[in-house]
Each structure stands twice: as C-alpha cells, then as structure tokens.
Amino acid sequence: MQLQEQILDTFKTTFGKDPLIVYSPGRINLIGEHTDYNGGFVLPAAIDKKMIVAIAENQTTFGKIYSLDFKEEYVFDLSSFSPKPGHWATYIMGVVAQLQQAGYQVKGFDMVFGGDIPVGAGLSSSAALECAVGFALSTLFDFQIPKTSLVHYAQKAEHTFAGVMCGIMDQFASVMGKKDHAIRLDCRSLDFEYFPIALGDYKLLLIDTKVKHSLADSAYNTRRNECEAGVHAAQKINPEIKDLRDVSLELLAQLELEDKVRMRCKYIIEENQRVIDSCIALENGNLVRFGQKVYESHYGLSNEFEVSCEELDFLVDYVRDESAILGARMMGGGFGGCTINIVHQEEVEKIKQSVGEAYEAKFGRLPEFYLVSPEEGSGVL
C-alpha cells in the first residue's frame, strides 16, 4: 500500500473523519559542506522522499498525534506542554510552540504522520517533519504563514525543543524546493536562486555507509572554532571581514595561523567558490564539469577539512575511475552517512552490485542505496 493511502486509512480508522493531507520532503546537498556557518553558499535540493501529515480539527484543546512508523499515539495539552527529550513528539510540539509564540491561535487537532525518508542517512527527516507540521497547521487553520517564516519556525523548533543548533539549509530546502532544480542559498543574507538539474541520462545515487562515528559532534565544534580563529586573524588586517566568505586565498596567505587552521580556512574559501562554479556548470548543462567539482569537494573535505572517514573515502575512491560516474563525494557533516554519486542510468544496477560486494568485503556489512530526484518543496496532496 502506498504511504499516502496508509496514512489516510490510519487516520480514518483512528479518528473517524477525513483529513487534510500535506507533505514536506527530505533534502540532499549537492555541494557546499560546512560553508553554512561560515556565511557562505550551499546548494541543496528537495527530494522525492517525504514526510506526510494527515490533520483535522478536533474541537478540543489537545493535540492528538499518531506516528505510523512508531505505531504509537501521543496526546498533549495545547495550553501546557514542554519538550520530551528523545521522543518523536518533541519535534511536533516544538513547531506548535513556535507558532503560538508568533501569535497564531493553534486549536485542537488530530494528526497521523509517516515518512519514507531513511532515518540516520543525513537526509533531514526531522526537518521534513517540522516543515510538514508547520505547513499542515498553517493550511488547516488558514494562517497563511509565508513560506520563509515557516522555515524559521521549523528551525527554531529544532533549536528550542530538540536542542539541536542546526543551520537553516535543511528546513529551507524542504519548504522551498523546486522540481528538477537546486537552490543556491546564501547562508548570510538568505537570498536564494534556483539552478536547473538537467541530469539527462544520469541519476543521483546515494550510498549509505550505515555508520556514524562518535567523532562527529566534537569535531564539528572544533572545526567551527578553527574557522573562527581564521576570521579573527583576518579581522586584524581588515576589520570589515565578517566570515571566511569575505577572505580571499591571497589574504589567507598573509595571515599568521597554525597550519591546521590555515588548511581548514583554505577548504572553506575554495568550497564556496566550488558552489558558484557548480551553478555555472549546471546552468550550462555541463555535467562533466559539475562532477569534477563534486570530486574536488570530497577531497577537500577529506584531506583539508578532515571530516571524512575510512568508509566514506573507500566509497569515493572505489568509484573514482568508473566512467559511468561523473562525480562522488561525502554529503553532510561527516564521519558517516552517505556519499552522493552522479551515475549513468544504464549502469546503476551494476554499480550497486560492484560497490556493495567491495564494501561488504572490506567492512563486513552492506551499504544501502537510494536513488533520489529533485522534487517540489512542501505542498498539499
């Protein structure tokens, strides 16, 4: 049974009425990693895997939610609730709290939700849920919340209730996505522009390492500090500088920095330029050039920013000489998760088999494979 039908059936069985049904997608990031907190550019796209929310008013003062994936119900009083750490309902309550604080009168509702976004693969299932809930409440109660405001409410829900200080890219891509396009987002000004992803005979294949190394969180904070050290050094020469985005490679060469900090800054400056170059390549329909930039991004992340891991490097190195693959790189914060690969459609099954066997031989487990395509952001089904 299709996910949408399953959610509709579950809603009717649980609550005995017809709901409004909306969705919000997961996202990939084509290029531009760790540039967000350095005031730079990212290039995400919404994908064809989504969170679906069915919702209706219930004439009470309670939110009654059922999770299809967890097969569990949760009820909370709209006038008195707080985060429940580690529980899925926290994401939903966080969005309700943000809307209430913004002055929207959220009334009692019944809700069933579920999704086909792989959890833990770095495709932002939590952001998709937050955005779907915000969009559902806005549509149900006719709040007419602007899409850009929904993005901010979803992000703040993650900050204040889930306790994750995420950037804005995930929520932005989920709400603002456009079919067959990527979004170049300026993480400083939040200006954005759409660029076509005309893949022709190629597909986007994600290969999930099925690992998440414990280094991730501490290394993330260390990298942020290292980037800030570069900014502070640059500000001594030019006080106008706000972020690494404002620093050129020429200026970087003049700065007194530890070698490690210099290397981190070099990666960020070059990655920002790679995003801009990638957009030009996409506009010109030059997939080969785009693929080169994707490979360069990986080697920068692995060798200069040092946020890759053995499994991610193995997956990229293994396909490097495959003529059927134009580009591959680790995607996300690092130390696990997925690689993103641009693969000729006729070779997808062969690549999956070959990579799967080699990865299993090396690491003793099979990776997961997901074909994805760029889709529309939040909408009504």
Question: Is 70 exceeded by the pLDDT of residue 314?
Answer: yes
| Angle of CA points 363, 366, 368, to nearest 5° | 130
Q: Which residues pair with 331 in a beta bridge?
A: 338
pLDDT of amino acid 162: 86
> Taking the CA of residue 212 as centre, how many other CA atoms within 13 Å lie in the half-sphere pointing to its CB?
10
pLDDT of amino acid 374: 97
Q: 42: part of which helix (H) or strand (E)?
A: strand 41-42
Q: What's the mean pLDDT in 1-15?
A: 95
Domain boundaries, the chain: 3-197, 202-372
Q: 195: part of which helix (H) or strand (E)?
A: strand 192-196
Q: What's the mean pLDDT in 291-304?
A: 98
Residues in the annotated binding site for substrate? 33-36, 220
- How far apart CA 145 and CA 8 sit, in angstroms, is 25
Of the two residues 124 and 339, the one the predictor is more confident about is 339
Q: What's the mean pLDDT in 313-333?
A: 96
Residues in the annotated binding site for Mg(2+)? 126, 158
Percentage with pLDDT > 90 across the chain: 92
Residues in the annotated binding site for ATP? 67, 120-126
Residue pLDDT, tens place only, 187-209: 999 999 999 999 999 999 999 99
Residues designated as active site: 170
Of the two residues 39 and 214, the one the predictor is more confident about is 39
Percentage with pLDDT > 70 across the chain: 100
Question: Is 80 exceeded by the pLDDT of residue 215?
Answer: no
Q: At what angle do helices 310-319 and 287-299 cross, to 10 degrees?
A: 150
Residue pLDDT, tens place only, 102-152: 999 999 999 999 999 988 788 889 999 999 999 999 999 999 999 999 999
> What pTM, to 2 d.p., does this model score?
0.94
Give residue 287's pLDDT band: very low, low, confident or very high (50, 70, 90): very high
Question: Is 70 exceeded by the pLDDT of residue 1?
Answer: no
What Cα–Cα distance (Å) separates residue 249 from each residue in 96, 130, 246?
A: 45, 39, 10
pLDDT of amino acid 31: 98
CATH topology of domain 3-197: Ribosomal Protein S5; domain 2 (3.30.230)
Do the bridges between strand 192-196 and strand 325-331 make them parallel or antiparallel, or are there none, so unpaired? unpaired
Question: Is 70 exceeded by the pLDDT of residue 348?
Answer: yes
Specify the DSSP class assigned to residue 167.
-
Specify the DSSP class assigned to residue 80.
B
Question: Mean of the per-residue pLDDT values for the chain?
Answer: 96
Q: What's the mean pLDDT in 215-235?
A: 91
pLDDT of amino acid 276: 98
pLDDT of amino acid 122: 82
Question: Is 90 exceeded by the pLDDT of residue 170?
Answer: yes
**CATH code, 202-372:** 3.30.70.890
Q: Residue holding tokens 């690092």?
A: 334
- How far apart CA 291 and CA 302 sit, in angstroms, is 17
Residues in the annotated binding site? 33-36, 67, 120-126, 158, 220
pLDDT of amino acid 164: 79
- How far apart CA 267 and CA 154 sit, in angstroms, is 30
